[in-house]
């Protein structure tokens, strides 16, 4: 007898430790009215079971926002939120529709219980003659909980995204409070409509809106499509032939060339490559170089994940942007001056090489300097200058650099024992002002810890290149002059003062004089990394020049 008692006690102990009895997988109701009563009871049972099982309600289904679900269902006496009497409420139909089309928001349906919900809904659809599925309270209870959990997860992902907070994230609400979630739930119940609630969570940045509106066209055009991979040309004849054949096929697949059965000549191929490059918004030189090949070989799945990452990066911005600001997007090699949701200046840029990346940052332009000197940052001294001097004592002179000690005196490089330095030097390396200066003839200063700026360049021919990640980290601006005079216009509302400032700038530039122009109404600067944009209803993709998206995909979107 004692072993039987012990076994019974052990069983009770195990049941207690496992959170009590699991709710039934099936519970058929006799009428629609009884269905709602049973469903309410099973919802309560599911929540109690989940509380003792880390959110698990069985069948590998985890409720990710269990505490919130407990609050909203308790406050509603465990009534169903999305269905009633064997039918979906309009909100339930809407929620299922939004989950099915989650990719329109840069989201993945499977992250919001859609697989399980769609399976349940298909059972309801097939049950036209009101057989067991539509009268199964357990199914309706599970569906209700999954939809509510999906709603809260979608609130978080549309509001904040899925990327972690980093050094340039400007949102103060990087973690949403329970009260915020409950406000969205109450708004949903009061309005009876999902669309305004979801819309209120989305970023208000015009570039986000352009990308968001272009996603449907991308999804419609890319469904089930995969393209031919184009290998690098190689050096031998066989490799070059394989490259040309694959390139022609790839261009034919998107109608950039009319046929692929007969080998195209180099002129026809170049024209087709130009068409592709124009669509991508990159330099249309007709050459399928390294950057163009990467764009040609970007799969549709990769492209969508780029869209998802881009939309999340917009979600990291504050809810409202300044009325005027400078937006530098590194992968697109572009700078925009936004003024009340209008692009006042669009300019090509040159940004940092992979080894000397342009940092992501937020600051504000505080001054402009004509004919600036360039004090070379320590990072560049260690990576480039010091090795160069060790190889050739005349390195600094050939580059037009001066060596300055702590007292401001110029030092002869030949008098320094360079072999004892490896991680830095006790001197400044300065390039004097002038037409040969790497900063060009005007620099835009803004506070940052990286010693980078926006500036002109003495190598303006580089703006014609397809790949423009060429600098030591600063951002070279093709339309620097237009930007300078626009900043003066913003900073001086008095016409006489504005004219005087503009005249001074023109004179100093013509005389090649170094001067500083302080900016009172500082213009915010955002340097960001977004590898796709919406243009004319289409998604345009850029090269992942620093591999940032590849890294984020591996870390946060693995398996997608």
Question: Which residues are identified as catalytic?
Answer: 455, 474
- Helices 66-75 and 32-51 pack at an angle, to 10 degrees, of 140
3-state secondary structure 544-560: CCCCHHHHHHHHHCCCC
Q: 211 and 307 in contact (C-beta within 8 Å)?
A: yes
**Is residue 154 within 8 Å of residue 198, measured between CB atoms?**
yes
Burial class (CB in 10 A: 0-12, 13-18, 19+), 555: exposed
Secondary structure in 3-state letters for 40-88: HHHHHHHHHHHHCCCCECCCCCECCCHHHHHHHHHHCCCCCCCEECCEE
In 52-177, alpha helices (H): 66-75, 90-100, 114-126, 137-160
250 neighbors 257 (Cβ within 8 angstroms): no
Residues 489, 344 contacting (CB under 8 angstroms):
no
Inter-residue long-range contacts of 411-415, CB under 8 Å, 24+ positions, other chains counted: 413/389
How is the chain split among helix, strand and coil, in percent rounded to 5? 50, 15, 35
Buried b or exposed e, range 57-80, using 16+ CB within 10 angstroms: beeebebebbebbbebbeeeebeb
Helix (H) or strand (E) holding 488: helix 480-491
Pairing mode of beta strands 401-404, 342-352: unpaired
Q: At what angle do helices 137-160 and 194-201 cross, to 10 degrees?
A: 30
In degrees and rounded to multiples of 5, residue 327 shows phi and psi of -115, 115
- Contact at 8 Å (CB) between 171 and 317? yes
8 Å CB contact between 388 and 395: yes
Residues in the chain: 560
């Amino acid at each position: 007898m004692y072993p039987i008692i012990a076994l019974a006690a052990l069983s009770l102990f195990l049941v207690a430790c496992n959170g009590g009895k699991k709710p039934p997988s099936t519970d058929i109701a006799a009428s629609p009215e009884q269905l709602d009563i049973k469903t309410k009871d099973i919802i309560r049972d599911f929540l109690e079971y989940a509380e003792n099982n880390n959110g698990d309600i069985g069948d590998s289904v985890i409720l990710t926002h269990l505490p919130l679900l407990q609050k909203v269902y308790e406050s509603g006496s465990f009534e169903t939120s999305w269905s009633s009497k064997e039918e979906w409420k309009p909100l339930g139909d809407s929620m299922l529709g939004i989950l099915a089309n989650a990719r329109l928001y840069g989201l993945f349906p499977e992250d919001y219980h859609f697989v399980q919900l769609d399976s349940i809904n298909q059972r309801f659809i097939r049950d036209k003659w009101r057989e067991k599925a539509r009268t199964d309270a357990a199914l309706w209870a599970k569906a209700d909980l999954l939809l509510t959990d999906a709603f809260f997860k979608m609130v978080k992902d549309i509001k904040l995204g899925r990327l972690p907070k980093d050094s340039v994230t400007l949102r103060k609400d990087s973690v949403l409070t329970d009260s915020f979630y409950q406000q969205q739930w109450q708004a949903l119940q009061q309005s009876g409509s999902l669309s305004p609630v979801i819309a209120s969570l989305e970023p208000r940045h015009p570039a986000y809106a352009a990308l968001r509106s272009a996603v449907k066209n991308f999804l419609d055009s890319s469904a089930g499509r995969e393209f031919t991979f184009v290998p690098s040309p190689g050096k031998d004849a066989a490799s070059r032939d394989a490259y040309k054949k694959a390139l022609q096929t790839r261009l034919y697949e998107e109608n950039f060339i009319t046929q692929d059965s007969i080998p195209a000549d180099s002129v026809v191929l170049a024209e087709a490559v130009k068409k592709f490059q124009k669509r991508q918004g990159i330099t249309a030189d007709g050459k399928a170089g390294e950057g163009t090949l990467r764009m040609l070989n970007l799969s549709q799945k990769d492209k969508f994940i780029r869209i998802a990452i881009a939309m999340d990066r917009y979600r990291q911005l504050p809810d409202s942007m300044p009325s005027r600001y400078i937006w530098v997007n590194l992968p697109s090699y572009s700078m925009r001056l936004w003024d009340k949701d209008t692009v006042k200046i669009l300019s090509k840029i040159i940004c940092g090489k992979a080894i000397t990346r342009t940092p992501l940052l937020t600051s504000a332009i505080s001054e402009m300097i004509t004919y600036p000197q360039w004090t070379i940052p320590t990072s560049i001294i260690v990576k480039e200058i010091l090795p160069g001097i060790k190889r050739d004592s005349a390195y600094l002179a050939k580059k037009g650099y001066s060596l300055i000690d702590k007292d401001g005196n110029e030092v002869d490089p030949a008098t320094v024992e360079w072999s004892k330095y490896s991680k830095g030097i006790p001197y400044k390396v300065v390039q004097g002002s002038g037409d040969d200066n790497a900063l060009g003839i005007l620099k835009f200063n803004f506070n940052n810890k990286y010693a980078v700026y926006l500036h002109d360049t003495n190598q303006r021919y580089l703006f014609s290149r397809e790949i423009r990640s060429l600098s030591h980290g600063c951002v070279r601006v093709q339309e620097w002059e237009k930007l300078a005079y626009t900043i003066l216009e913003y900073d001086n509302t008095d016409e006489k003062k504005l004219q005087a400032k503009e005249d001074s700038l023109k004179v100093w530039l013509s005389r090649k004089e170094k001067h500083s122009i302080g900016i009172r109404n500082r213009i915010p600067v955002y340097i960001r990394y977004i590898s796709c944009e919406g243009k004319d209803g289409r998604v345009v993709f850029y090269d992942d020049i620093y591999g940032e998206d590849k890294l984020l995909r591996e870390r946060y979107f693995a398996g997608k």
